[in-house]
């Protein structure tokens, strides 16, 4: 084998250098590709995150707007400057801002009747309420509504365009104490609805007859009903009375409630409040007073209002023969015994549907005590404004009304045939 000459060695070196250089370039190119790929991936992830963030913000805004919280929805969108760059033509956030602003601007002043319907605590077990034991079944049959009926009513009211509206937002109170109607603005086709519930006290006589026992705060921090079932077992349920049932319906249908409004809970006082005996000045009642306050605070934070339904709910209200001394005792005692635990209210729900007489000094004591809204029972659906008090009648959607006035109910609220509980006996009245 011959020895390589000098020129051959130089060529080998040159080839080696070229190879090395090519390798370096290849590595560099590969590095650039890897870096670019990583950058592209980061940009894709960033874009995906931005898109996801946009979707979250838009979903939150849509949910708020569905419940008529238009300003709050716009605030959610507008407080994200990185998502609202005006240079991004057609940006989803900008489009959503325009959409919600349009919804807000399209509200129209409502000129019709503010409907007000009311119930008593609901019958959970008709087989107990309508038997021949305990309280007479006829009274329950006439003045009460079953859980089954109330659950059936809500979708029908919803379909008719009703929106739960806060009763205290239907009036404007001036500095001198006078009042005037407060404008109501709703989307076209929507109608305000007030719901109130009388006697949310869970009286002792009702306990064996298929009603809830009391209201309690559950582990989820929501208000539930404590129910004793026919077997004598104590349970916490979401369908033992108007409050949790309505809360859950609004959760599924936020457009059924104007800014989270629910209804009015009307309390007497002679057997406590919300299922707790708190008015006998006993030492052990201090614990129950705090329970009532906790439940009431929870309800108010969730859109519920409280009202005075008199303290005694005495028969003299039914006959209209109440004296000034009786009225003062009754009104003042409610303020002393119930108001500290449920809070002040300007709503008076009249016992026995007692009607207002603006010229009667006994009636006037209610207005002088700070109540600006007085609600009797009357199917006239006609609200009257006096100088310092509004009188808004309520319609009772109970067994009596459904059996005796089905055409009236059908006209304004729902088809009785779709709601009426067949477990009811016939109303004999």
Which parts of 238-354 fold into alpha helices (H)? 242-252, 285-301, 315-319, 324-337, 339-342
Instruction: Centre a 10 Å sphere on the Cβ of residue 293 and count the other Cβ atoms it contains.
Output: 17
Q: What element of type H or E holds 163?
A: strand 162-164
Where in the sequence of the chain do the CATH 3.20.20.370 domains occur? Answer: 110-419
Burial of 220 (0-12, 13-18, 19+ CB in 10 A): exposed
Q: Which tokens sit at 84? A: 């609202």
How many helices (H) and strands (E) the chain has is answered by 15, 17
Residue bearing tokens 């199917």: 379
CA distance 279 to 214: 16
**Domain 110-419: CATH class, spelled out:** alpha beta
Long-range contacts of 89-95 (CB under 8 A, 24+ apart): 92/54, 92/58, 93/54, 93/57, 93/58
- Nearest CA among 119, 121, 129 for reference residue 241: 121
Q: What element of type H or E holds 402?
A: helix 399-404
CA distance 59 to 69: 13
DSSP 276: B
Q: What is the mean pLDDT of each run of 10 residues along the chain (429 residues)?
A: 47 52 49 48 47 79 97 91 50 91 98 97 96 90 97 98 98 96 98 98 94 97 96 95 98 98 97 95 92 98 98 92 95 97 98 94 95 97 97 97 97 98 85
pLDDT in the model for residue 277: 95
CA distance 315 to 60: 51
Tens of pLDDT along 182-208? 999 999 999 999 999 999 999 999 989
C-alpha triplet 74, 79, 82: angle, nearest 5°: 120
Tens of pLDDT along 91-117? 888 899 999 999 999 999 999 999 999
Q: Taking all residues of the chain, what is their mean pLDDT, rounded to a whole number? A: 89
pLDDT in the model for residue 32: 45
- Nearest CA among 363, 397, 399 for reference residue 379: 397
């Amino acid at each position: 084998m011959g020895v390589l000459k000098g020129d051959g060695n130089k060529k080998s070196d040159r080839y080696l250098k070229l190879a090395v250089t090519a390798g370096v370039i290849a590595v560099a190119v590969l590095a650039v590709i890897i870096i670019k790929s990583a950058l592209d991936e980061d940009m894709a992830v960033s874009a995906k995150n931005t898109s996801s963030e946009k979707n979250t913000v838009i979903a939150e805004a849509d949910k708020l707007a569905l419940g008529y919280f238009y300003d709050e929805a716009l605030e959610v969108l507008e407080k994200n400057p990185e998502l609202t760059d005006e240079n991004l033509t057609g940006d989803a956030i900008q489009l959503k801002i325009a959409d919600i602003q349009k919804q807000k601007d399209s509200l129209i002043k409502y000129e019709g009747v503010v409907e007000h319907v009311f119930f008593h605590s609901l019958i959970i077990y008709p087989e107990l309420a309508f038997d021949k034991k305990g309280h007479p079944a006829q009274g329950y049959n006439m003045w009460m509504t079953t859980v089954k009926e109330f659950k059936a009513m809500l979708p029908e009211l919803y379909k008719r365009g009703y929106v739960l509206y806060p009763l205290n937002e239907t009036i404007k109170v001036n500095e001198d104490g006078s009042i005037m109607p407060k404008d109501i603005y709703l989307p076209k086709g929507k109608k305000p609805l007030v719901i109130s519930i009388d006697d949310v006290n869970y009286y002792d006589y009702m306990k064996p007859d298929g009603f809830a026992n009391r209201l309690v705060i559950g582990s989820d921090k929501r208000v539930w009903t404590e129910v004793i079932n026919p077997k004598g077992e104590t349970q916490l349920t979401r369908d033992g009375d108007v409050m949790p049932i309505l809360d859950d319906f609004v959760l599924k249908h936020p457009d059924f409630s104007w800014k989270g409004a629910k209804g009015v809970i009307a309390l007497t006082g002679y057997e406590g409040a919300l299922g707790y005996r708190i008015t006998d000045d006993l030492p052990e009642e201090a614990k129950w007073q705090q329970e009532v306050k906790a439940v009431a605070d929870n309800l108010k934070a969730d859109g519920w209002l409280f009202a005075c339904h008199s303290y005694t709910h005495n028969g003299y209200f039914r006959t209209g023969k109440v004296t000034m001394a009786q009225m003062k005792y009754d009104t003042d005692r409610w303020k002393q015994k119930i108001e500290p635990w449920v809070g002040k209210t300007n709503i008076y729900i009249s016992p026995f549907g007692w009607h207002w007489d603006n010229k009667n000094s006994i009636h006037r004591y209610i207005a002088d005590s700070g109540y600006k809204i007085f609600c009797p029972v009357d199917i006239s659906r006609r609200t009257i404004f006096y100088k310092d008090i509004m009188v808004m009648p309520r319609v009772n959607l109970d067994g009596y009304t459904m059996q005796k006035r089905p055409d009236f109910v059908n006209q304004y609220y729902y088809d009785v045939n779709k709601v009426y509980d067949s477990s009811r006996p016939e109303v004999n009245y």
